[in-house]
Structure 1
Amino acid sequence: MWKGILYILLLSILLFTSKVKAQTDSISQKIYKNNILPSPSFTYSPRTDLVVGVYCLYQFKFDKKDNLARPSNLSFYYGTSYKGHTFLLTEHTFLTLQEKYFLKGIIEYKNTPEPFYGIGNQSSSEEYLNVNYYSFEVKERILRQYQQSKFFGLKIRYMHIFNVSYQDRDNNEIPAPHLKGNAGGYYPGIGPVWMLDKRNSILTPTKDYYLDISATAYLNSNGGAFGTVEIDGRRYIDFRKDSKRVLALQVVAKNTFGNVPYTELALLGGKQILRGYTLGRYRDQHSIQAQAEYRFNVVGRLGMTTFFGTGTVYDELSDLQFLKAALGTGLRFNINRKDPANVRIDFAWSLIDKNNGIYITLGEAF
């Protein structure tokens, strides 16, 4: 009898061990496949006109067998328009083995004629200057994971604005307005960053949440110094647990202090948040913006979104009553089934001012 029981126990242990080994081998053999994804890119607004570009995204892992780390990415972008815009950008998010380190940064050069409407949230859309300048920016975050999904580290940024000139609405040369940083300058900065990142994907998150808090102290080449405090909070709700019905929420805030150049003030709008407003349509010492986006699958790789955003820039808390708002809809096409990366086409309209925008690029807005 005891021999029979012992035999059964030994047989069970052998079967269990072989099953565990098979599972382990299966996991160890799961190798991530790196991807190179090219895409056209277009943005349009009445002020900036059509900007045409090419975008290339490289998704990869430093260790293809590391199933704990989310994929890293490296992108390159070139864009131009007949109005004289030139953009050259490389951006990266690197996650090392088991996400021990999180590195995120950009290197960007651009020649960007743009309208300047003044400072404050009550500026007129009919009164503006045309500003021409060149800029070069390097920004890097170096974060270390100290607990699961929690990171702490440094943000380093260098911004240089040069060859600045001003024209009136008829493109006649005019003297520089009396503004801080009206002739450009360079602004090196450094400061701490704390990040909580539980997103399931860097490029196309569908669940969990993200919180980023940073403070940066800058030297101003024109004299003095200034600082910024920025907060970015996001929440993703996957209603069906299959990534086909997702509500994405975001709140961002920026506060500036000290001898701040007008180009470094808090800005409203752009292709990420409050789409429909040209980036910099409103600017001031502080900003707060929020948006909600509902993303849903239509069929196969094709999806759609609807989104709404609101926010404002302000100097005094009483200015918060002057909220701006925008809404829009968009299309999504997934060009990578194994590690989703969407080409997005967004159509956005402002509700308070006569602003609109069309954005075609790779990756979600947030």
Structure 2
Amino acid sequence: MRFFYPLLALSALAAPAAQAQLTPEPTTSLLASAAPASETAATVVPTAPPENGAPLGLNRALAPAPAAKFKLTPDDPDKPSFIPVPIAFYQQETGFAGGVAILPVWRFGQDTAVRKSNARLIAWISQQKQTTVQLTHTIFTKEEKYFFSGELSYYDLAFKYYGRGNDTDEDVKSNIQYPLWVFDQKALVKVVPNLFVGVRYRLTDLGKVKLDDADAGNPAPYNSILAEQRAGYTTSGVGPAILYDSRDNVLATYRGNFVDAHMLFNGKGLGSDYSFTRYLVDARHFTPLLGSNNTILAMQFLGQYHTGNVPFREWGGMGATLGGSLYNNAYLMRGIYEARFRDRQFTTAQAEIRQKLFWRFDGVLFGAVGEVAPNLDDYTFDGLKYAGGAGVRFRFNRRDRLNIRLDYGVGSGGNSGIIFAVGEAF
């Protein structure tokens, strides 16, 4: 099992989350006291005598107070929300781990046509002293003139490494660990509504790759990594980027399209130890079914392709928990172990049905297909890998459509697992 988070916390978290999004409606008396005297007098309506003969003041005193009516603050419906979420999980490589996630959501300016921006700060530490600190962001400025997205993260993780290829053996794996810094930033300017162009820069700094001292597993996959790469390396690349984004909401989309395409040229002139080029296209489509937002069809296609001298960690890799900015925060091939299959070229597609259930709960069915290969002409239908499963969603923040997600997936290669995360898979 990859991830487990205590779901009992959801009911406790729901109340303050809802309260934070709501505010009491001002009472008539407060509005009247703030108005000029002439306006107040003009709105006074004579009160009929009480039918039961009791004094008017007593009737008012004994009358039950009207229930407080809550609504989104009319003056500031887009006040930033900072929602801390405690996290805890267990996985074989790390043991028990815990930490916190902070998830601010806000809008620049008062124009509701401007989509909301968000960030995610996630930090945890395990009983084996492994750590992750990840900050990602998606920002629309006023009038959506500019768009920024990216990541600044530090990882120190252990996991199973199966080597390179689309047909690696489940029983032949090395338990490896390495530290990794990632800085990724995309800066785009609006050309026409929903269409942005600009530049993307990505830096990764990989520390020494080590075998697990306690349980190295099979050293063959580890030894297949070139010695100079096991010692650590840096990649640094920059290139043009184009984005078309008509999604109505970036956290949980009901309708719209998303197409991100970019190239990254990595070279020694940018401080990279390896020279290679990455081409990536990420296309998504969302549409309601059955005439309402209660049923949503979501689809994604992603291709990541390389030329040049690509180090092992920069290969495309299918696996559920890659996340981060590399694939625009998408979770790919849910049900397959992280980077279980990896190579220079990677293509995948997934689809899911999101169904409203009751109260704050939704259900999801998903499926995916993908393949890795050294070259594009090496793809075969027999080499396709499959993954699929089901999940539930808890609408933690109804105002901003911020969901807590629990998925169970199974996939090719003898893989299965539970995934808990904040936000939709894509």
Distance in 2, Cα, partners of 1:331 & 1:32: 27
Structure 1 partner of 2:417: 357
User: What is the alpha-carbon root mean square deviation over aligned residues?
Assistant: 2.3
**Cα distance, 1:265–1:34 mapped onto 2, change above 3 Å:** same
Q: Which amino acid aligns with 1:313?
A: V
- 2:100/2:124 contact within 8 Å kept: yes
TM-score, normalised with respect to structure 1: 0.86
- The aligned residue for residue 306 of structure 1 is 365
Distance of 2:343 and 2:124 partners within structure 1: 28
d(CA) in 2 for partners of 1:313, 1:168? 30
Is structure 2 residue 201 aligned with structure 1 residue 142? no
Deviates more, 1:196-205 or 1:223-232: 223-232
Percent identical: 27
8 Å contact kept, 1:45–1:358? no
Alignment of 1:8-47 (within 5 A): 31-41=77-87
Shift of 1:163: 2.8
Deviation at 1:47, TM superposition (A): 5.6
How far did 1:120 drift?
A: 0.4
CA contact (8 A) 2:175 2:217 kept: no
Indicate yes or no: 2:247 matched with 1:188.
Answer: no
Structure 1 residue matching 2:352: 3-state secondary structure: strand
Q: Report if the CA contact (8 A) 2:104-2:120 is conserved.
A: yes
Letter in 2 for 1:305: V
Which of the residues 119, 128, 131 maps onto 1:74?
Answer: 119
Cα deviations by residue, 1:129-150 (Å, 9 ceiling, x for unpaired): 1221111111110011101100
Distance 1:151 1:44 in 2: 40
> Cα offset for 1:74?
1.6
Runs of 5+ in structure 2 lacking a partner?
Answer: 1-73, 322-330
Q: Secondary structure in 1 aligned to 2:313?
A: helix
Offset of residue 182 of structure 1: 2.4
Larger radius of gyration: 2
Structure with more strand by fraction: 1
Long gaps (5+) in structure 1: 1-27
Q: Does 1:216 align with 2:275?
A: no
Aligned residues: 337
TM-score (norm 2): 0.74
Partner of 1:297: 356
Q: Are 1:227 and 2:286 an aligned pair?
A: no
1:347 and 1:353 mapped to 2: Cα distance? 16
- Equivalent pair of 1:247/1:293 in contact (CA under 8 Å): yes
Matched to 1:332, the amino acid is R
Aligned position for 1:326: 387
The alignment partner of 2:380 has SS state of: helix
In structure 2, C-alpha distance between the alignment counterparts of 1:240 and 1:70, rounded to whole Å: 26
Letter in 2 for 1:35: S
Deviates more, 1:334-343 or 1:93-102: 334-343
Letter matched to residue 423 of structure 2: G
Structure 1 residues 205-237: Cα deviation after superposition (integer angstroms, max 9, x where no partner): 111111111100112668540110011010111
Following superposition, the deviation at residue 275 of structure 1 comes to 0.6
Tell me if structure 1 keeps the 8 A contact 2:147–2:190. yes
Aligned to 2:316: 266
Deviation digits for residues 161-214 of structure 1 (CA, Å, limit 9, x no counterpart): 113212489338969624342222111111111111000011111111111111
